[in-house]
Amino acid sequence: MDENLLQIRGLEKWFGTLKVFEGVDLDVKAGEVVSIIGASGSGKTTLLRCVNLLETFQAGTILLDGNPVGYHEANSKRKRFSERVIARQRLLTGMVFQQFNLFPHMTALCNVSLGLIKVKKLSKAEAEKEASRWLERVGLSDKIHSRPSQLSGGQQQRVAIARAVAMNPKILLFDEPTSALDPELVGEVLNVIKQLAADGATMVIVTHEMRFAYEVSDKVVFMDKGKIASMGTPAEIFEERKSDRLKEFLSTFNS
């Protein structure tokens, strides 16, 4: 019960000669909602991408549900798993991107059902039933047959959320899910995420929506220059503001 669903230890990541992480440690328990905040370039996106295995990392371990992902030890050498294994490990996480990244040539229904059919091997009928159920959950039952180009940004992001949750991942990763949206469309997407949180989903959310982070999170992580600079409950982070860097960062957001 108390076990960590995601456990990151000593993560180090280089882009060429640029060191992005200096030994990052992070734990996420089942059912927990963790928000990551921090200045641009502090490594928030890269951290999520490492967990989703979209990036390589040079040292440290990431355990998902108790098992190492991405790399394993063979003859006391660190080796990356084969692409086939990595594809399977990615199913433990669901990713929602800042730019939605919906497949533009497919309807909302096909976007959500593709993985169910090709990866989960459901029949087309089962997959479409499951996909429409999720599209309904995000409030898009009337847009099932629409292409992404016929949807608003908020609707597209909700399809993307449905696509991620439909695969039934253990952890959902959100990278600034509302940053590409017009202000009036932010609310509908945040509401969907809140609903998922209320239903007990485990989530890691990179966001600049401080009020939302305050309301939805069990734990808030403040990243600064590739390190976790502070971590605590929303009250500890947003009200107590223990470090100067955190104060400075939060003061750039009003309220």
Q: Is 35 in the site for ligand ATP (CB under 6 A)?
A: no
Q: Could you tell me the smallest distance in angstroms from the CB atom of residue 41 to ligand ATP?
A: 4
Q: Which long-range contacts (CB under 8 A, 24 or more apart) does 58-61 make?
A: 58/12, 58/13, 58/14, 59/10, 59/11, 59/12, 60/8, 60/9, 60/10, 60/11, 60/12, 60/21, 60/23, 60/24, 61/7, 61/8, 61/9, 61/10, 61/11
Q: In what order do the strands lie in the sheet with 59-64?
A: 18-29, 4-15, 59-64, 67-68
CA angle 116, 121, 124 (to 5 degrees): 65
The residue within the footprint of other proteins, chosen from 54, 63, 122, 144 (CB under 8 A), is 54
Could you tell me if 196 and 203 are in contact, meaning their C-beta atoms sit under 8 angstroms apart? yes
115 binds, among ligand ATP, other proteins, Mg ion, none (CB under 5 to 8 A by kind): other proteins
Could you tell me if 143 and 108 are in contact, meaning their C-beta atoms sit under 8 angstroms apart? yes
At residue 150, the 3 state secondary structure works out as helix
The Cα 142–Cα 132 span in angstroms is: 10
| Residue with token string 């030890």 | 73
The residue within the footprint of other proteins, chosen from 167, 186, 205, 220 (CB under 8 A), is 167
Q: Could you tell me the smallest distance in angstroms from the CB atom of residue 11 to ligand ATP?
A: 12
Q: Is 178 in the site for Mg ion (CB under 5 A)?
A: no
DSSP label at 55?
S
| Residue with token string 């230890």 | 9
Q: Is 91 in the site for other proteins (CB under 8 A)?
A: yes
Give me 25's structure tokens: 């440690």
18 binds, among Mg ion, ligand ATP, other proteins, none (CB under 5 to 8 A by kind): ligand ATP
In terms of CB distance, is 154 or 226 closer to ligand ATP? 226
Q: Could you tell me the smallest distance in angstroms from the CB atom of residue 56 to Mg ion?
A: 18
Q: Which stretch binds ligand ATP (CB under 6 A): 43-51, 125-133, 137-145, 233-241?
A: 43-51
Per-residue binder mask for other proteins (CB under 8 A), 104-143, x = binder: xx--------xx--xx------------------------
What is the sign, positive or negative, of the torsion defined by CA atoms of 208, 214, 219, 224?
Answer: positive
20 binds, among other proteins, Mg ion, ligand ATP, none (CB under 5 to 8 A by kind): ligand ATP
In terms of CB distance, is 78 or 105 closer to other proteins? 105
Chain positions contacting ligand ATP, by CB under 6 A: 15, 18, 20, 38, 40-46
Chain positions contacting other proteins, by CB under 8 A: 52-54, 83-84, 87-88, 90-91, 93-95, 97, 99, 101-105, 114-115, 118-119, 147-149, 160, 163-164, 167
Chain positions contacting Mg ion, by CB under 5 A: 45
